[in-house]
A and B are shown apart, each in its own frame.
Chain A
Amino acid sequence: MTTLYLERASAVHRLNPVTKLVALLAIIAIVFAVPQWWIPLGIVVLVVVPAAVLARVGGRLLRLFLILLLPLLVVLFIVQGFFFPDGTTVLWQWGPARLTVEGLVFSLTIGSRLSALVLGSLVFVLTTHPARLMTALTQAGMSSKIAYVISASLQIIPAFQERARSILLAQQARGLEIAGGPLRRARALLPLIAPLVLGMITDVDERSTAMEARAFGATPRPTSLTVVDDPLSERIGRWLLAAAAAAVIVLVVVGVIA
């Protein structure tokens, strides 16, 4: 598996990836700018979750939430809620653990920001194919070399895994016993890392020859086989999103939102 991307026919999937990226960045800017914990929570409930449902990736998002985020939130709530050093308004106490209002608010603030950030990013990744993102970004003016580095690093992971898998298989074929739990497997994999990296480096040399043979970098303005639609409505939408985020930040800075 290369990415988390899920192929679905939905309006969210069809959006220009740059629009989705701008929306994500706007959300991140807003939730970290405003001090109120209920605003990030509101964004999660009113924007992120509906978007996931509309894109028919809600189930996967929930699963990822349970695996990735929930444990983190629980730890955060316990540590900050019960052991917040500056907490004065004690609600409940048992030994050294004191549940304070300040600790609760702090963990809610951090937790809701974190949720908006992680869930928003997940919806983005779940609904955006990396190839389409790269194309859209290059179309929007990003350098093709930077696009190459990003795409290549996305693809190098599965290629790396594939290689590690085949070498491990070859080692077993030469008598290496790995059926002995994760520790044994890890011990078997450890000596693999150096040669794998070295192998990849030799590859880079050969690959750069192959890339240059195909005129990579010969022109700053390459054309593109795949074209990502970018209707006027989305371009306006992006500016509005950016303006909204900027406005919120200004309002926070000048003290209207406190």
Chain B
Amino acid sequence: MNDLTIRIDGLRHTYESGVEAVAGVDLTIAPGERVAIVGQNGAGKTTLVRHLNGMVRPTEGAVHIGDWSTSDKSIAELSHRVGYVFQNPDEQIFARTVEGDVGFGPKNLGFEPEQITESVMTALEAVGLAHEAQVHPHHLSLSERKRVAIAAVLAMRTPIVVLDEPTTGQDEDGVRLIASIIDDLTARGTTVVAITHDMDFCVENFERVVVMARGTVRADGPTARVFADQPALEAAAVEPPQLARLARVLGWSEMAVDPSGFVDAYERRRRG
């Protein structure tokens, strides 16, 4: 387990254009926790998480990663603690080979040569692209490039990993792969913060959900409880996961996280 608590206090961020993307957020994320951040496009999710590695600085308030305030550390310094996977892999990938791109982070973080090779290969195996190590990233499909972008951050072995929309463009196997990567990260004690629009993915892989709307947090808590909070979800225009919607139509008060859980609840009801 890592020992870095993420602490966001009274955070506001206003862009030069005058848009206030984050309008007063307080949030504490414990070491090793996995938290999903959901909300409509434009709700301020990306601006919020970009504060975690200093790519965006607070206009007001503060963000702490353990004992560091992000306001007085460079992005590069913060990268020792926080890895960040961009939503669009093409904004991130730049090297001539997949291996070179994935090795960039470990190299900058001062890994030993053999450690670099080892972490790169492990990361590429985790995303199922070890056989493409020597390929030019532009020859891969968009969904493969997305996995290269994830590997590039895994290889850095940071105690905190931020994922912006990790499942976009992924097919069924891709989504499952990303879910297993998150499990591996948790097993290592890594804190995982992810933005996602995929509510099924969210409910099955995150124990805690933060719902955002208009730059503020509208709901925050255990996944099952948040997805039962209909008024908050409606206010944030967040559609609950499919099984939660079904349970609601059926008039159930509780919510099942996954198909098996749903069938268990169904069986209980049938028995009376």
Contact = CB atoms under 8 A, between A and B. Distances in A.
B90 interface: yes
Interface stretch (A33-41, A88-96, A123-131, A176-184): A176-184
A175 B80 contact: yes
A153 interface: no
A171 B83 CA distance: 11
B233 interface: no
Contact of B104 (A169, A174, A179, A199): A174
Majority DSSP secondary structure for residues of A touching B: helix
Given A172-B79, A176-B76, A196-B94, 6 more contacts: A170-B86, A173-B83, A178-B76, A179-B76, A191-B94, A198-B138
A155 B84 CA distance: 29
Interface of B: 53, 55, 74-77, 79-80, 83-84, 86, 90-96, 104-105, 107-109, 138, 152-153, 156
Q: How large is the interface on A (under 10, 10 to 19, 20 to 34, 35 or more residues)?
A: 20 to 34
Contacts, number: 65
B50 to A, nearest CB: 9
Contact of B74 (A167, A177, A196, A202): A177
Nearest to B84: A173
Interface string A199-217: 1001000000000000000
A253 to B, nearest CB: 54
Contact of B91 (A167, A174, A192, A202): A167
Given A166-B91, A167-B91, A169-B55, A174 B96 contact: no
A195 interface: yes
B85 to A, nearest CB: 9
A179 to B, nearest CB: 5
A167 B75 contact: no
A175 B109 contact: yes
A154 B138 CA distance: 25
Given A169-B55, A169-B75, A195-B95, A175 B90 contact: no
Interface of A: 163, 166-167, 169-179, 191-192, 194-196, 198-199, 202
A196 B104 CA distance: 17
A251 B205 CA distance: 83
A175 B96 contact: no
Contacts of B83: 173-174
A170 B94 CA distance: 10
Nearest to B77: A177
Contacts of B55: 169, 172-173
B92 A170 contact: yes
19 contacts: A166-B86, A170-B84, A171-B94, A172-B55, A172-B75, A173-B53, A173-B79, A173-B84, A174-B83, A174-B152, A175-B109, A175-B156, A194-B96, A195-B93, A195-B95, A196-B94, A198-B138, A199-B138, A202-B138
Q: Which of A171, A172, A191, A198 has the most CB of B within 10 A?
A: A172
Contact of B108 (A169, A175, A199): A175
Contact of B76 (A167, A175, A198): A175
Contacts of A172: 55, 74-76, 79
A176 B104 CA distance: 9
A167 B156 contact: no
Contacts of B156: 174-175
A161 to B, nearest CB: 13
A18 B76 CA distance: 50
A178 B104 CA distance: 15
Nearest to B104: A174
